Amino acid sequence: LKHFLGIEGLPKALLIEILDTATSLMSVTEQTVKKVPLLRGKTIVNLFFEPSTRTRTTFELAAKRLSADVLNFNINTSSSSKGETLIDMLRNLEAMHCDLFVVRHAAGGAAHFMAQHVAPHISIINAGDGRHEHPTQAMLDMYTIRQYKGDFSPLRVAIVGDILHSRVARSNIHALMTLGVAEVRVIGPNTLIPKGIATLGVKVFNRLKEGLRNVDVILMLRLQRERMQAALIPSVHEYFQYYGLTEAILETTHSDAIVMHPGPINRGVEIDSSVANGERSVILQQVSNGIAIRMAVMAMTLKAIPELKDTR
Strand, helix or coil for residue 231: helix
Nearer to ligand CP (CB atom), residue 144 or residue 253: 144
Nearer to ligand CP (CB atom), residue 167 or residue 253: 167
| Residue 237 annotated as lining a ligand binding site | no
Q: How far apart are CA 40 and CA 277, in angstroms?
A: 38
Nearer to ligand CP (CB atom), residue 234 or residue 263: 263
| Residue 136 annotated as lining a ligand binding site | no
**Shortest reach from residue 280's CB to ligand CP, in Å:** 19
Nearer to ligand CP (CB atom), residue 38 or residue 139: 139
| Residue 222 annotated as lining a ligand binding site | yes
Q: Which residues bind ligand CP (CB under 6 A)?
A: 52-55, 128, 137, 262-264
| Residue 130 annotated as lining a ligand binding site | no
**Shortest reach from residue 97's CB to ligand CP, in Å:** 27
- The Cβ-side half-sphere exposure at 60, using a 13 Å CA radius, reads 13
Task: Give the DSSP H/E element, type plus range, for residue 274.
Answer: helix 273-276
**Shortest reach from residue 28's CB to ligand CP, in Å:** 22
**Shortest reach from residue 153's CB to ligand CP, in Å:** 26
Nearer to ligand CP (CB atom), residue 53 or residue 241: 53
Helix ranges (H only) for 150-219 are 167-179, 208-212
Helix ranges (H only) for 131-265 are 135-149, 167-179, 208-212, 236-243, 247-251
Verify cis geometry, omega within 30 degrees of 0, for the bond prior to 51.
Answer: no
| Residue 37 annotated as lining a ligand binding site | no
| Residue 134 annotated as lining a ligand binding site | yes
Q: How far apart are CA 35 and CA 25, in angstroms?
A: 10
**Shortest reach from residue 71's CB to ligand CP, in Å:** 18
Q: Of 73, 271, 62, which Cα lies nearest the Cα of 161?
A: 271
- Angle at alpha carbon of residue 307, lines to 15 and 173, rounded to 5°: 10
Nearer to ligand CP (CB atom), residue 50 or residue 94: 50
| Residue 54 annotated as lining a ligand binding site | yes
**Shortest reach from residue 53's CB to ligand CP, in Å:** 4
Q: Of 169, 144, 136, which Cα lies nearest the Cα of 57?
A: 136
Q: Provide the b/e sequence for 161-175 (b: ≥16 CB within 10 Å).
A: bbbbbbbbbbbbbbb
CB-based contact 256:227 (threshold 8 Å): no
Question: Annotated binding site for L-aspartate: which residue ranges?
Answer: 82, 167, 222
Question: Annotated binding site: which residue ranges?
Answer: 54-55, 82, 104, 134, 137, 167, 222, 263-264
Question: Annotated binding site for carbamoyl phosphate: which residue ranges?
Answer: 54-55, 104, 134, 137, 263-264
